[in-house]
Structure 1
Amino acid sequence: MTHVAPPPGDLEAGLFDLAPVSLWLQDLSALKTCLEGWRAAGMDDLRAWLRDPAHLLAVQRLIRIERVNRHTLRLYEARDEAELFAHIPAIFDDPRADALVEVLCQLWAGATQARLVTQNRTIGGRVIDVSYAGRLLPGHEDDWARFLISVEDITQREEMRRREDALARFAASLFERSPVPTLVRDESGLAAMLADLRAAGVVDLAAHMAAHPDWAEAARASLAIVGANPPALVLFGAADGDALAHHVAVGLGVEAWRVFAEEALALWAGAGHGVRDVLFRRIDGGALHLKAQYAELPGQGDGRRLVQIALTDIGANKRAEARLETLSHTDSLTGLLNRAAYAAHLERLEAERIVPTSVIVADLNGLKAVNDRRGHDAGDALIRRFGRVLAARVPASAHAARIGGDEFAVLLPGTGPESAAALALRIAEGVERANDGADTPLGVSLGIGTWTGEGPLNAAVTRADARMYAAKRGRRGRVRVA
């Protein structure tokens, strides 16, 4: 680049010199003449042509700087123009001259203006980010003899952007590398739909969703998974984020609808999100019991509402809870219900008024004598044998329980006395078959009672108990039914 001193005293020069931005006036006419000569010689790709260092150096030498203003000297920390121009190679510390090449290619393509962001250096060596804007002045679009450049120091803005980018990359790295399965969901559509309902005067969202299932489906469909880290993909068995997003979009079953309703109502109430247990499905259909922790991501700036969802697989806990609940309701010797579970079923059947409900009460005959003569292991074997008979003969809708040492009961919801009597006979037949070849025969007394809704259900149990004792006193055969 070469410098030509400006003519002194003109008004334009004064305005140029006092401008509060860095201004450069260049003459690129000789450079354009050179480019036209190269084109005539066969050059058809300027960008590729300027990759040759010799060609690049040739165009650089043809750039004539006609004027710079005072702000330019301050920006680049130069005492005067002589110092500035002596340091031009250091100021534009760009061996490949990428910024210059970009500007020339834009002008060569027919543009009269060029813009870019690049970095320069001050004479003191400080790196600055600059916004570069150049334009061919009117009347010089063809000869490029007057090219005005303004340079703005945007270092502070770019440093802030770089910090934000670094933070974003760091957050993305945490998201990707987190060992916790995590999703990012866009809830902007749902938030907008809820706002529209409020504007329309809706005050009861639950009632609105019940009355307008199409609206509820559209609201659920507006939720979109826009991010899923690798552990989340593994958790759902998804090949990639798109597969997972599609899986969620097409629905995850009835439980997912319940979860959506809870989420929508929480957002409607202004509570945002928290923690809730959910039941979802893997892509292969397997159940996923999850604890979902929701948190809105701040500072979107574009009006979007993004929510991060951290997922914890609590399937093992749920299975353990189910096993504990089963154990708490199960008799350890027979595998039937225990007395607590039997009492709970009694209370529920009466509260729901399931009528008729029949009860079969059973008591083992002579168990004390077997315990005294052959030991408690032999007595326990008889108890287990009768438990197996009940498990095999009682229908799935019934509730068979061991309610005492040798006492059993079968609750038969929706069953009248005739069907209950028929079942008692099948139980008796099962006991007789279980005795075939047994060293110690099993004796059982059975009593039946039916509740038709009059009085408490426990009264029918009392009647069945009384009939069982009557059958026991009858002493007719090993299996007695009354």
Structure 2
Amino acid sequence: MIPNDNPIFHMSPIPLWLEDFSEVKKQLDCWRGQGVQDLRQHLRDNSAEVLECARKIKIIQVNRRTLELYEANHFEHLCENLGRIFQQDMLLTHIDELAQLWEGKTHFINTAVNYTIAGKRLDIQLRCTILPEYEHDWSQVLISTENITPYQNARRLAEKNRQLAEARFNFSPTSLWVEDFSSIKARLDQLRAIGIDDFSTFLDVHPDFIQQCIKDIVITDVNQATLNLFGAPDKDTLLKNTHRIFSNEMTQTFRNQLIDLWKGKIHHQHEAVNYALDGSIRHVLLQFTVFPGYEDTWSTVQVALVDITARKKAENYLEYLGKHDVLTKLFNRTFYTEEVNRLERNLQRPVSCIFIDLNGLKEINDHFGHDAGDEQLRRMGNVLTQLIQNTQYTASRIGGDEFVVLLPNADEASLHSSLQSLRELMIIDNQYHSIHPISLSVGHASSRPNERIEDTLRRADKHMYMQKKQYYARLNPQ
């Protein structure tokens, strides 16, 4: 027993309450006699009985620290304001306390919410003990109400920050992956330990090392933007199909990543090619970082994938426009000039060429409109595309109605074979478009020993203009 004048009770730094639970015990015995078996459910269904039971508790004494905590002037002041101290928040807690007593426990620990008389919220760790020799009637129960508000506030703040970080991850518009690279770090550390210095050469000699490292990656989590980017309905589907997302193109990218990591670059970025689950391409900017605090293990890293597919398509289209004629889909004069210079630098011989000029295009434009003229140019593009398909030859539109086919490694026999194919393709095309047949002036040449390609082209161009002159002479005889 703890007498009311016990100095330890009054001097304790923890708030202490000495209470009489004898009426509570009688109430529990009454419910048991009425056949109540599940007390928790019974009290949830009859919340008024919880309050009634709480009112049966008699406070015998409290210590000075209790009065200070609850901002009470004296014992009577405290007792007069129990309704403010123990508010609705206590109901569920009190149900749990009664249930533990119902189950025969004479000591238990719980957390609860109390309030000071002035209305300040308190998080309490409550310890309840039925004192020895009073187990028969519960008339002496010692309760401590330790203030754990700072601790609970810290926990709530940590939980809030965790939820915020989780929300930022899940709802980020950027594809985010959390991965474990610890096995990869162990592999790299092992290589250093056995004396490997030139890591790039090591990868050239042991390309299988890259594949081993790829298999070592453990994907911990991905966010919703990742599922959207790769067209996956859920995380499980995505993780089961990573082999479809990371294709062979990723090997070179990952090789560069390994070299960066070997050099100590735990924050780096690379462009990469991935694929959605429907097979469509995804160009991404991969940004890799080892999380702070995990620099020694790499057990938690983040990979952010920024979708740059649209940008890549725009870049490729601009590159295409730089070297192609939009109307005919053939190469343009810029490409033609670069290709001639390349062939000349490489001393590639023999080289043959075909110069083509459309006869009467101006008349078509004048009489039937530029749409009709453009259609003839498109038809010519289709014919030349068919002519060079499955070959190393190139076809370019170098002027309004002028075209050149370059035939590297083609001798006279190959040149004449291509000319025959051109004639046959033109016959088929003109049969299909008989209203506006295409007429061509064609010049051709094959390089001679020690002849510059420029001179070969000049001979073919001259030959084409001779045919052009003959065409108009036949059209307008003197």
Write the deviation string for residues 110-160 of structure 1: whole angstroms up to 9, x where unpaired: 545433322111122211122223345567677656544332212223333
Matches within 5 A, 1:145-294: 147-170=141-164, 181-187=173-179, 189-190=180-181, 192-202=182-192, 207=202, 210-220=207-217, 222-229=218-225, 233-248=227-242, 251-267=245-261, 269-273=263-267, 276-291=270-285
Tell me how far apart the structure 2 counterparts of residues 89 and 303 of structure 1 sit (CA, whole Å): 55
| TM-score, scaled relative to structure 1 | 0.74
Give the 3-state SS of the residue equivalent to 1:212 in structure 2: helix
Offset of 1:338 from its aligned partner?
A: 1.7
Q: Which 10-residue stretch deviates more, 401-410 or 34-43? A: 401-410
Calculate percent identity across the aligned residue pairs. 29
Tell me how far apart the structure 2 counterparts of residues 420 and 91 of structure 1 sit (CA, whole Å): 103
Residue 96 of structure 2: which of 64, 81, 102 is its match? 102
Give the 3-state SS of the residue equivalent to 2:452 in structure 1: helix
Q: Is the 8 A contact 2:290 2:300 kept in 1?
A: yes
- Paired position in structure 2 for 1:427: 422
Q: Is the 8 A contact 1:43 1:49 kept in 2?
A: yes
Matches within 5 A, 1:298-447: 305=300, 307=302, 309=304, 311-312=306-307, 314-331=308-325, 334-346=328-340, 358-364=350-356, 387-397=381-391, 398-403=393-398, 408-412=403-407, 418-430=413-425, 441-447=439-445
Tell me how far apart the structure 2 counterparts of residues 450 and 43 of structure 1 sit (CA, whole Å): 112
Q: From the superposition, tell whether residues 77 and 381 of structure 1 become closer, same or farther in structure 2 (CA, over 3 Å).
A: closer
Tell me how far apart the structure 2 counterparts of residues 382 and 124 of structure 1 sit (CA, whole Å): 93
Q: Is the 8 A contact 1:448 1:468 kept in 2?
A: no
Tell me how far apart the structure 2 counterparts of residues 443 and 394 of structure 1 sit (CA, whole Å): 19
Offset of 1:237 from its aligned partner?
A: 3.0
Give the 3-state SS of the residue equivalent to 1:321 in structure 2: helix
2:50 is equivalent to residue 56 of structure 1? yes
Tell me how far apart the structure 2 counterparts of residues 78 and 69 of structure 1 sit (CA, whole Å): 11
Tell me how far apart the structure 1 counterparts of residues 243 and 355 of structure 2 sit (CA, whole Å): 57
Offset of 1:103 from its aligned partner?
A: 1.9
2:13 is equivalent to residue 15 of structure 1? no
* Cα-Cα RMSD: 4.6
Write the deviation string for residues 333-369 of structure 1: whole angstroms up to 9, x where unpaired: 6432123213444566678x7x9765332234796x9
Give the 3-state SS of the residue equivalent to 1:50 in structure 2: helix
Tell me how far apart the structure 2 counterparts of residues 37 and 309 of structure 1 sit (CA, whole Å): 64
Q: From the superposition, tell whether residues 306 and 116 of structure 1 become closer, same or farther in structure 2 (CA, over 3 Å).
A: farther
Residue 110 of structure 2: which of 107, 116, 135 is its match? 116
Matching residue's letter, 2:352? I
Matching residue's letter, 2:273? L
Count, aligned residues: 454
Tell me how far apart the structure 1 counterparts of residues 275 and 463 of structure 2 sit (CA, whole Å): 55
Matching residue's letter, 1:6? P
Tell me how far apart the structure 2 counterparts of residues 280 and 74 of structure 1 sit (CA, whole Å): 65
| TM-score, scaled relative to structure 2 | 0.75
Write the deviation string for residues 9-46 of structure 1: whole angstroms up to 9, x where unpaired: xxxx3223222222334454553354234223311011
Tell me how far apart the structure 2 counterparts of residues 89 and 370 of structure 1 sit (CA, whole Å): 101
Offset of 1:384 from its aligned partner?
A: 6.6
2:77 is equivalent to residue 79 of structure 1? no
Q: From the superposition, tell whether residues 197 and 470 of structure 1 become closer, same or farther in structure 2 (CA, over 3 Å).
A: same
Tell me how far apart the structure 1 counterparts of residues 357 and 31 of structure 2 sit (CA, whole Å): 116
Tell me how far apart the structure 2 counterparts of residues 138 and 450 of structure 1 sit (CA, whole Å): 118
Give the 3-state SS of the residue equivalent to 1:149 in structure 2: strand
Q: Is the 8 A contact 2:354 2:443 kept in 1?
A: yes
Offset of 1:329 from its aligned partner?
A: 0.9
Q: Which 10-residue stretch deviates more, 436-445 or 64-73? A: 436-445
- Which structure 1 residue ranges, 5 or more long, are not aligned? none
Give the 3-state SS of the residue equivalent to 1:442 in structure 2: strand
Q: Is the 8 A contact 2:442 2:467 kept in 1?
A: no
Give the 3-state SS of the residue equivalent to 1:114 in structure 2: strand
Tell me how far apart the structure 2 counterparts of residues 292 and 460 of structure 1 sit (CA, whole Å): 45
Q: Which 10-residue stretch deviates more, 303-312 or 102-111? A: 303-312
Q: Is the 8 A contact 1:296 1:306 kept in 2?
A: yes
Q: Is the 8 A contact 2:113 2:123 kept in 1?
A: yes
Offset of 1:107 from its aligned partner?
A: 3.8
Q: Is the 8 A contact 1:359 1:420 kept in 2?
A: no
